[in-house]
Amino acid sequence: METNSTRAGALAALGAFLIWGTFGLYFHALGDVPAPEVLAHRVLGGGLSALVVLALRGRLGEMAAVWRERGQLAGLTGSSVAIAVNWGVFIWAVANGRALEASLGYFLFPLVSVLLGRLVLGERLSPRQWLAVALCALGVGWMMAGGSGLPWVALVLALSFGAYGLLRKTINVSSLAGLLVETAVLAPFAAAYLAFTGGGTAPHMGGGTIALIALAGPVTAVPLVLFAFGARRLRLSTLGLMMYVNPTVQMLVAGYVLGEDFTPAHAVTFAAIWAGLAAYSWPGRREA
């Protein structure tokens, strides 16, 4: 029974990471729609999808409980800002031919989380973990020295998602309830943007674009549900290693489907970061 549960969890988590990894295709198809507009629809659609799922599962009381707890509400307000920045920059990056750099950000994310844990929570880093962080810093520095400039898209994505994870780590609320509260915080701003722009450009761009916009909610909520299902059934170490499926697929999509150039500077930077991830993920004697 435990083996079947683990297998189901692994398949669910893999499904979530594959969906997240192919997000570049979805947002690239919406490249003619302004990024803030796509973000607004994703906020509203994601919130509606989370509301429906929680209602069907009879768990709307979780959201009400959060609204009564000022500490949780304040934390989720902060995480809503972090995820809005993350989503917005990713949507913009894909639409502007920088999906490869976006994938770099999600490779950096686990090590940014380690560094934030040290700086904010006072968690100790082993020499091996410091080596991993140093290798990633070396990779970013190489890209800058190679004339490609500061990879700000990757850094913003890694830092914003790291901040999101840090905030959510301190808040005892389920993924869907948290998403519903976060989108409820952002919804007035999303609705105000769409009202200010007269509904945006998407309604005037044909049935295909409207259909893609309508999928924004499920596209946001479905992988989150799959991830939550898998996370409850897998070891944290297994889940952590599987997370690299997401940026790997993002990188392959950017290079082989969207046709972005994989330059020598990219090669050195990615190699340094993969070396850092290997140093971080390789089990020590106690873990082994």
Give the pLDDT score at 240: 65
Q: Radius of gyration over alpha carbons of the chain, in Å?
A: 19
195's tokens: 């009202």
pLDDT-based confidence at residue 43 (cuts at 50, 70, 90):
very high
Give the pLDDT score at 283: 59
Q: Quick one: how far is CA 113 from the chain centroid?
A: 13
CB 91 within 8 A of CB 212: no
Mean of pLDDT values over 259-278: 80
186-237: pLDDT as tens digits:
999 999 999 988 877 877 777 888 899 989 888 888 888 888 788 777 776 5
Question: What pTM was computed for the model?
Answer: 0.84
Residues contacting 274, CB < 8 A, separation 6+: 107
Give the pLDDT score at 288: 44
Which residue type, as a one-letter code, is found at position 156?
V
Give the pLDDT score at 146: 63
pLDDT-based confidence at residue 18 (cuts at 50, 70, 90):
very high
Please list, residue by residue across 5-41, b when 16 or more beta carbons sit within 10 angstroms of its beta carbon and e when fewer do.
eeeebbebbebbbebbbebbebbbebeebbbbbbbbb
Give the pLDDT score at 103: 87
